[in-house]
Structure 1
Amino acid sequence: MLLVQLSDPHIDLDRPGKAAAFARAVAHVNALPTAPDAVLLTGDCTEHGTAEEYEQFTALLRTLTVPAYLVPGNHDDRAELLRRFPPPGPALPGFMQYVVNDHPLRLIGLDTHRPGHGEGELDSVRLNWLDAQLQAAPAQPTLIFMHHPPVMTGLDVMDRIGLQGREALCDLLLTHPQVLRVAAGHLHMALTTRFAHTTVMTCPGTDTTLLPELSRPEQLLVQRQPPLCLIHAWSEATGLNSFTQAIAPTPWHALFDGRRWND
């Protein structure tokens, strides 16, 4: 099973470069030599959550040749997303939080949206729902995807808009070892770290990857690098492996053709 994770397109009618970058990311997915089973889009689909921005976002997303599963970010409008992208599986009423049971790797999307706030939230309602879903399939390998990562970054400005309820989520996941990965966005950076018994990975935005300078945590001094996507590959033989891939129009090359190495 193959999944591509994209994040944070921030479609903005006043900044057409955002839409152009998202279009390149979609084209990149469509051009992969092996079509993924699905795309995970971990929030901030638009900048202002307006109907006009969602029209443009939806038109671009519609060119994907595989299904896409979405969760809201802090810049999104939950009601707009629910109207345009109804949850594809068992869902928590009133939230864009749901289970996808159609694949060997079970997918659970968490809704961390807190209307009117930059920080995210997992309250008792959302966490109790998650606990019940995980209890229902304790032997099924699972990937959780969400917008706000449940970890501290060491960057003051990002941690101020982090996730409320991360400690309770950590306690919950310690009782559910089938969760193999937590995939998030929000940071516009590529971060990998331990959380509970599992691993959190964040996917940069579709327009750029930010590399932070960590010695001045009160600032956000960054280097802008090319955009990235994450590739999550599951098989019974290997478990869940995750790869980082540049979104760029570079050709595929058979470095090893099954018999010999090629330059």
Structure 2
Amino acid sequence: MLIAQITDLHVRQPGQKAYRVVETDRYLPPTVAALNALDPRPEVVLITGDATDFGRPEEYATLAERLAPLEIPWYLIAGNHDDRQAMRAAFPEHDYLGEGPFIQYAIERFPLRLLALDTLIPGEGRGELCAQRLDWLAARLAEQPERPTLIFMHHPPFATGIAHMDAIGLTGAAEMAAIVRDYPNVERIICGHVHRTIFQRFAGTIASCCPSTAHQVALDLRDNGPSAFVMEPPGYQLHLWRDGELITHHAVFGDYGMPHPFHEEGGLIDE
């Protein structure tokens, strides 16, 4: 099973620039084309939040238009830039988005079980796992305690060392860890929010962040580092579930030419 993860699309209306720099809607068509062209093609695409920049209905309309050519089943969760009700209204055919206070659901039809966890606090940059959301997670994990499971969410449940992003990090991470620690079948927790590739051990498993399909958060590990972004290459991750193990590959979007061979006529090319 192959899972593609994209995140932090921050789609705005055509011609609008995020932070006066990034026309985020223009990055989505080449993203979709690249995913469609993958060989082998993923069975599913997980979009781990901040699908739009302000959660406006017109932004979701642009998002829907840009995602329409995607030929792979895809699933959304909400990030801090999203609006649950506007998201539901824009994608009525995605009934997994539900009608309750949170967007949380289980995807059961793949060899690897997928659990979507909601971390959104409306109007705030930080995330939260309240008692209700944590109880949902505990109940879902208890249903199938031996089945290999991947949790996907927006805010990572760990501090990254990028100070301005950690300032809008996740409340309830310790409580989540106490739940997850009892379930060694949790293979991975995949996240967005930080616009970078990051990994950390967490509660007996591995938690990770995925780069944005548009702009990246500047890699600045100073305690007083400013809130800033850079136009590093947009990226995504591929999570390969094979022989009972989950293997993650970082990849970037863009045309970098055809692969060049290492070997020729049975040996390494030495010239």
TM-score norm. by structure 2 comes to 0.88
In 2, Cα distance between equivalents of 1:250 and 1:113: 36
In 2, Cα distance between equivalents of 1:147 and 1:92: 19
Identity score, percent: 36
Deviation at 1:84, TM superposition (A): 3.3
Count the aligned residue pairs: 261
C-alpha deviations, 1:131-152, integer Å up to 9, x for none? 1111101111111111100101
Which residue of 54, 61, 65 maps to 2:67? 61
C-alpha deviations, 1:26-61, integer Å up to 9, x for none? 111011121110100000011111111000001111
SS of the residue corresponding to residue 74 of structure 1 reads coil
**Structure 1 match to 2:185:** 178
Counterpart check, 1:151 vs 2:165: no
- AA aligned to 1:245 is A
**Structure 1 match to 2:251:** 245
C-alpha deviations, 1:6-36, integer Å up to 9, x for none? 0001011222720111211111101112111
**Structure 2 match to 1:102:** 109
Deviation at 1:189, TM superposition (A): 1.2
In 2, Cα distance between equivalents of 1:222 and 1:207: 10
Counterpart check, 1:18 vs 2:24: yes
Deviation at 1:92, TM superposition (A): 8.2
Answer with 1 or 2: which has the greater Rg. 2
Deviation at 1:256, TM superposition (A): 8.5
In 2, Cα distance between equivalents of 1:5 and 1:47: 18
Cα RMSD for the two superposed structures: 2.4
Contact 2:215 2:229 in 1 (8 A): no
Please, which moves more after superposition, 64-73 or 220-229?
220-229
SS of the residue corresponding to residue 25 of structure 1 reads helix
Please, which moves more after superposition, 78-87 or 196-205?
78-87
Deviation at 1:252, TM superposition (A): 5.2
Contact 2:190 2:210 in 1 (8 A): yes
Contact 2:146 2:185 in 1 (8 A): yes
TM-score norm. by structure 1 comes to 0.91
- AA aligned to 1:106 is R
SS of the residue corresponding to residue 168 of structure 1 reads helix
| 220 and 116 in structure 1: CA distance in 2 versus 1, 3 angstrom threshold | closer
Contact 1:90 1:100 in 2 (8 A): no
In 1, Cα distance between equivalents of 2:105 and 2:266: 45
Contact 1:204 1:229 in 2 (8 A): yes
In 1, Cα distance between equivalents of 2:224 and 2:142: 39
C-alpha deviations, 1:85-126, integer Å up to 9, x for none? 466559683321100001000000111110111101110101
Counterpart check, 1:2 vs 2:2: yes
C-alpha deviations, 1:217-257, integer Å up to 9, x for none? 4434665421110000002x251101101111345548589
**Structure 2 match to 1:204:** 211
Contact 2:216 2:234 in 1 (8 A): yes
| 59 and 262 in structure 1: CA distance in 2 versus 1, 3 angstrom threshold | farther
**Structure 2 match to 1:38:** 44
| 92 and 77 in structure 1: CA distance in 2 versus 1, 3 angstrom threshold | closer
Which residue of 189, 194, 198 maps to 2:201? 194
Q: Where in structure 1 are there 5+ consecutive unaligned residues?
A: none
